Structure 1
Amino acid sequence: MRPPVSHRPRPASPRSGPSSPRASLRTAVVWDVLKDALDRQVKATGRESLDVLDTGGGSGNFAVPVARLGHRVTVVDPSPNALFALERRAAEADVADRVQGVQGDAHGLFDVVERAGYDAVLCHGVLEYMDDPAEGLRNAVGALRPEGVLSLLAAGLGGAVLARALAGHFTEARQALSDPDGRWGEGDPVPHRFTADQLTALVEAAGLGVASVHGVRVFADLVPGVLVDTEPGALDALLKLETAAAELAAFHSVATQLHVLGETRESVEG
């Protein structure tokens, strides 16, 4: 087995930080969709405990809550520090027996995990940092069992364009619109951004059907933090607004991130 290699360095994921109301706001839509999908998988398989793979799962911001639901989670991440933090977080949550950390990356995924061994695969914040996003997604899908489900989260093009424009960087906003990878310039830390159509096309090309598409962080990154932190009820109201807008295609084009739920075509058609 060759040592796992990260093909492109990634900045520290916001999922690695401590939990906070703002962090919860940014992940709530994804968590609701994922939890519902796992509940459906439990019913479909007849097993209360699923095998879940979290590629690029970092310190376990999703893996640990999934383990709290009773599922077994394998986290693959290139960072030893993130895996150490995962071990500590899992122990603090009393789910260490259901969480396993493995050093590796999506390119060499099957050097460290088995093919077709998981009921669900999480691929969150991974594709945008891969030299070949299509290959990385094919590997993630290859880890699924025949009746598996994929949770895909990636950087959205429209959100980045809107953020640069609102910051007064109009040339960079226009550059992101015309760049094939959605980058606003040489200093852009994100190698790839996607539209909803691009992500769904990747999922379908990898052999899955698209069950749903959600816009994530449509408003959360644009609203001043002081407003959310000081105005009574603002956080809850903003969360409800994010949830209401997430499924509407009109808002996918301005979301900071896009979430695609992929399932076997039989499951989607059924």
Structure 2
Amino acid sequence: MTDRSGTPATAIGGLGVSGTTGPARAAGAARTAVVWDALARLLPDLSEGAPLEIVDAGGGTGGAAVPLAELGHRVTVVEPNPDSLAALERRAAESGVTVRGVQGDTRDLPSLVPAEGADLVLVHNVLEYVEDPAAALADVVGVTRPGGAVSLLATNAVAGALHRALAGHVADAHRLLSDPDGRWGEADPMPRRFTRQGLLELVGAAGLTGESVRGVRVFTDVIPGHAWEGDAQAGQHLLELEKAAAGHPELIGIATQLHVIAHRG
């Protein structure tokens, strides 16, 4: 798998994005700030001052794992692509941290991670690609300790239809909305998309509770790039707009991605 989780603009001293400079960096931070802000609030509640055991399922080259390791947590990346694991090892070495990388898929989690051994499991842009999302999430829950958390990031079907329509592919948008897997046709490179309700039902069926949903990339993917190119202030405004829109009850529905944090009760 490629590095789908994204990297925060700055991970020094935390997972926030304060100190972001430059238009490209600010625009990039706008794509990931919502997820990192949510994790930054979650980690202290889970850790109570102690290092966490974190599993990043499908963690790619360590875009999330390495910054979390830099904060002192023990991180394991479970990733099927050996090239990504090699890149993860290089990235971790360059950052002066240790991240355990093991080859495998979500179905391998029970044999790679101790049962109830993780305080936090990241499942970012993975459920779109697995054969059976419910089974994959059950395996994730199995390695999450009682009271631990699962961070899910999944592609939004409603946003997919919006983006196809804005690109002039109106018929594709129509098909996507009626397709049970949220796909616009056989040529669609995305195997599966989720609605907000469908994702919450999946989470509930897995026995996870206390879920909260935030929208990721509400505006970033529909505003033309030239709107912030060469303008650091515009990029910063976009970042703040994304953070404000993330919890808006109406705007969540059109976000490119849906971020859910839920707990194993």
1:80 is aligned to 82
Deviations along 1:151-203, one digit per CA (max 9) or x if unpaired, are 00011111111110000000000010000000011111111111111111111
Name the CA shift for 1:210/1:199 in 2 (closer, same or farther; >3 Å): farther
User: Alpha carbons of 1:199 and 1:210: their partners in 2 closer, same or farther (altered >3 Å)?
Assistant: farther
Alignment of 1:31-70 (within 5 A): 31-43=36-48, 47-70=49-72
1:84 corresponds to which letter in structure 2? A
Identity of aligned residues (%): 50
Question: Which residue identity lines up with residue 118 of structure 1 in the other structure?
Answer: A
Q: C-alpha displacement at 1:130, in angstroms?
A: 1.0
CA distance in 2, matches of 1:17, 1:34: 13
Q: 5 Å matches for 1:169-208?
A: 169-208=169-208
Distance across 2 between alignment mates of 1:24 and 1:104: 29
- Give a deviation string over 1:25-82, Cα, whole Å, max 9, x none: 2111001101211111112xxx520100000000111111111111000000000111
1:18, distance to aligned residue in structure 2 (A) = 11
* Residue identity opposite 1:183 in structure 2: R
2:99 matched to 1:94?
no
Matched residue, 2:31: 26
1:116-140 Cα offsets, whole Å, 9 max, x none, are 1110000001000011101111111
Q: Give the TM-score taking structure 2 as reference length.
A: 0.90
Rounded Cα–Cα distance in structure 1 between residues aligned with 2:117 and 2:4 = 28
Contact 1:219 1:242 in 2 (8 A): yes
Cα separation, partners in 2 of 1:35 and 1:17, compared to 1, 3 Å: closer
> Who is 2:243 aligned against?
243
Is the 1:15–1:59 Cα contact (8 Å) retained in structure 2? no
Native 8 Å contact 2:7 2:64 kept in 1: no
- After TM superposition, the score normalised by the length of structure 1 is 0.88
Structure 1 segments unaligned to the other structure (5+ residues): 1-9, 266-270
- How has the CA–CA distance of structure 1 residues 232 and 112 changed in structure 2, closer, same or farther, with 3 Å as cutoff? closer
1:219-238 aligned at under 5 Å gives the runs 219-238=219-238
* Structure 1 counterpart SS, 2:66: helix
Q: Which amino acid aligns with 1:122?
A: L
Distance 2:40 2:105 in 1: 24
Counterpart residue type for residue 66 of structure 1 = L
1:102-117 matched pairs, under 5 angstroms: 102-117=102-117
Select between 236-245 and 256-265 the one with higher mean Cα deviation.
256-265
Inter-partner Cα distance in structure 1 for 2:96 and 2:105: 26
Structure-2 change in CA distance of 1:232 and 1:50 (3 Å) = closer
Q: CA RMSD in A?
A: 1.7
Q: 1:196 to 1:16 in 2, by over 3 A?
A: closer
For residue 120 of structure 1, what is the amino acid of its counterpart?
A: L
**3-state DSSP class of the match of 1:145?**
strand
**Unaligned runs of at least 5 residues, structure 2:** 10-23
Equivalent residue of 1:107, what SS? helix
- Report if the CA contact (8 A) 1:160-1:173 is conserved: yes
* Partner residue in 2 for 1:264: 264
Matches within 5 A, 1:141-156: 141-156=141-156
The amino acid of 1:79's aligned partner reads N
Distance 2:153 2:139 in 1: 15
- Find the counterpart in structure 1 of residue 162 from structure 2: 162
What is the aligned partner in structure 2 of residue 268 from structure 1? none
Q: How many residues align?
A: 250
> 2: CA distance between counterparts of 1:218 and 1:254?
6
Which residue of structure 1 aligns with residue 14 of structure 2? none
C-alpha distance after superposition, 1:70-127 (max 9, x if no partner): 100000000011111111111111112xx10000001222222222111000000100
